Amino acid sequence: MRQKERLQHQHDEFNQRWKNQSETLSRLQEAYDNETRTEEKIRLEPILQDKQKQREQVEQQLQALEAEIKQQDLQEIIGNA
């Protein structure tokens, strides 16, 4: 598998992970917003924060991978010129 194909495959995987985590985070936020019991809100807060951190990490990895793909594309263009 070529480097570019490998990077694109990783990009697709990270993108799917980000979407899944965003969906989970959205559902947790909705549950938190609709919750009326204080104890349950307190229980949900650290879970929400943890999921937000996880999504931010995946987002950073995704951005780094996108930058690497752009660099590969640029090198390929320069090599073809």
pLDDT tens digits, residue range 55-71? 999 999 999 999 988 88
Q: With contact defined as beta carbons under 8 Å apart, do 17 and 61 qualify?
A: no
> First-to-last CA distance in the chain?
24
d(CA 73, CA 67): 10
What is the per-residue pLDDT for 12? 92
Q: 28: buried, middle or exposed (CB in 10 Å: 19+, 13-18, 0-12)?
A: middle
d(CA 6, CA 46): 35
What is the per-residue pLDDT for 1? 53
Identify the DSSP state of 81: -
- Model's pTM, two decimal places? 0.79
pLDDT tens digits, residue range 13-59? 999 999 999 999 999 999 999 999 999 999 999 999 999 999 999 99
